[in-house]
């Protein structure tokens, strides 16, 4: 009698809901690739939507979201953790709570804050907020300050991470942040020499190359 391979149950494959142009979504996609977890991908069609159903039920009206059967995981860090639990083989992941020195912990804080600030700036641009708006000007200054800090410190930060790691949430976020600034033409990043060198290095990974930013079809 011929034995056939069991067809994978589609419900057992998690679905990542986001956009291929989103840096928080890319962090999750990058982790899925690093951890060897297959995911389906569902595009959030329009970020102007105020219907939580368009964000897989996320009341914050944000992406990414991971759907695993009847469960949803909100936000990139939660998603990356769930992907790690589903990884077919254990991987050495450095999570934010492992960063117990001020240098690395502050780098994590600033990378994620810079990502959030970039989101606000882009959404402000899309909404037509005037360039001289005081809050916008402050956010731009804040982003530049954070990038300068990260550029000054990224080498020391990386040197302080456990050398035997497979992947760190901090580096994944930093890579997705800096490459996204270029992708969205928010500001040129080549002047940030240390960050650019870091991106050149991290960008060699298959996970980085498989998750390049692009705009999803409308």
CB 22 to ligand GSH: min, Å? 4
65 binds ligand GSH (CB under 6 A): no
119 binds ligand GSH (CB under 6 A): yes
22 binds ligand GSH (CB under 6 A): yes
Distance of CA 8 to the CA centre of its chain: 28
Tokens of 55: 């964000």
With respect to ligand GSH, which residue has the nearer C-beta, 43 or 160? 43
CB 155 to ligand GSH: min, Å? 25
User: Rounded to an integer, what distance in angstroms lies between the CA atom of residue 134 and that of residue 177?
Assistant: 24
123 binds ligand GSH (CB under 6 A): yes
- Report whether 95 contacts 162 (CB < 8 A): no
Q: Site for ligand GSH (CB under 6 A): which residue of 13, 43, 47, 87?
A: 47
Three-state DSSP state, 93: strand
E strand spans, the chain: 15-18, 40-43, 65-68, 71-74, 93-94, 167-168
43 binds ligand GSH (CB under 6 A): no
Name which of residues 187 to 206 contact ligand GSH (CB under 6 A): none
14 binds ligand GSH (CB under 6 A): no
With respect to ligand GSH, which residue has the nearer C-beta, 34 or 118? 118
Beta bridge partners of residue 65, listed in sequence order: 17, 74
């Amino acid at each position: 009698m011929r034995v056939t391979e069991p067809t994978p149950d589609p419900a057992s494959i998690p679905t990542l809901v986001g956009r291929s142009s989103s840096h928080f979504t890319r962090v999750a996609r990058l982790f899925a690739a690093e951890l060897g977890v297959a995911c389906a991908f569902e595009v959030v069609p329009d970020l102007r939507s105020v219907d939580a159903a368009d964000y897989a039920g996320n009341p914050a009206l944000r992406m990414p979201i991971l759907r695993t059967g009847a469960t949803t995981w909100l936000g990139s860090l939660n998603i990356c953790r769930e992907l790690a639990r589903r990884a077919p083989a254990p991987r050495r992941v450095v999570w934010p709570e492992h960063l117990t020195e001020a240098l690395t912990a502050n780098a994590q804080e600033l990378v994620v804050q810079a990502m959030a600030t970039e989101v606000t700036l882009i959404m402000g641009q899309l909404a037509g907020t005037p360039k001289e708006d005081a809050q916008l000007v402050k956010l731009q200054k804040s982003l530049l300050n954070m990038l300068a800090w990260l550029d000054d410190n990224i080498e020391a930060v990386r040197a302080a991470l456990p050398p035997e790691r497979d992947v760190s949430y901090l580096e994944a976020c930093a890579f997705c942040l800096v490459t996204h600034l270029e992708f969205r033409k928010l500001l040129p990043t080549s002047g940030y020499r240390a960050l650019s060198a870091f991106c050149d290095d991290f960008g060699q990974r298959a996970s980085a190359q498989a998750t390049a930013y692009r705009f999803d079809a409308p």
